[in-house]
């Protein structure tokens, strides 16, 4: 069973076993507007929680996507390089950025669950 967690920078992480799939939330893609470019890291790159994991550019702005957890990149979503609009179409699904092999699953406890994230976003309005 996969578990989803959120950061206060609007990244999400869905964990299945020791693999974490990472992307940006619907709220984040709405704030960015139409995504026109995504820069992804190399497979094999080790990241510590808080490191830059990817860059997303939209018609409004460029923004970093930070690793919510530590680990090693095991897969990138190459579909986004040719069709970055996939982030806008399905940010929480097909629009994922990277998959990482977790190095410390305890870091997940520092992230928000879905209810806490919803309350956080509501507080931004």
Contacts for 45 with CB less than 8 Å, ≥ 6 apart: 72, 73
Mean pLDDT across the stretch 58-63? Answer: 92
DSSP 63: E
Q: Is the pLDDT of residue 1 over 60?
A: no
Q: Is the pTM of this model over 0.75?
A: yes
Helix, strand, or coil (residue 116): helix
Chain mean pLDDT for the chain: 95
Mean pLDDT across the stretch 36-40? Answer: 97
Token pair of 32, please? 């960015």
Q: Which domain holds residue 72?
A: 3-103
Q: What is the CA radius of gyration of the chain?
A: 13
Q: Tell me, yes or no, whether 9 lies in a domain.
A: yes
Token pair of 101, please? 């092999």
Neighbouring C-beta atoms of residue 120, cutoff 10 Å:
15
Q: Is the pLDDT of residue 3 over 90?
A: no
Token pair of 59, please? 């018609």
Render pLDDT for 84-123 as a digit per residue (tens, 0 to 9): 999 999 999 999 999 999 999 999 999 999 999 999 999 9
pLDDT band at 58 (very low <50, low <70, confident <90, very high): very high
Look at the chain and report how many structural domains it folds into: 1
Q: What is the CATH number of the domain that holds 40?
A: 2.40.50.100
Q: Token pair 């305890």 is at which residue?
A: 106
Confirm if 12 and 24 have CB atoms less than 8 A apart: yes
pLDDT of residue 125: 75
pLDDT of residue 2: 60
């Amino acid at each position: 069973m996969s578990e989803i967690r959120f950061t206060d920078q609007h990244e999400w992480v869905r964990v299945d076993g020791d693999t974490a799939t990472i992307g940006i939330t619907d709220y984040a893609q709405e704030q960015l507007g139409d995504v026109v470019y995504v820069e992804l890291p190399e497979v094999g790159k080790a990241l510590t929680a808080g490191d830059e994991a990817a860059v997303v550019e939209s018609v409004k702005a460029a923004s970093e996507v930070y690793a919510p957890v530590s680990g090693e990149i095991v897969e990138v979503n190459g579909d986004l390089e040719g069709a970055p609009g996939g982030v806008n179409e399905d940010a929480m699904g097909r629009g994922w950025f990277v998959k990482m092999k977790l190095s410390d699953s305890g870091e997940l406890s520092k992230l928000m669950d879905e209810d806490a994230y919803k309350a956080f976003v509501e507080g931004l309005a």
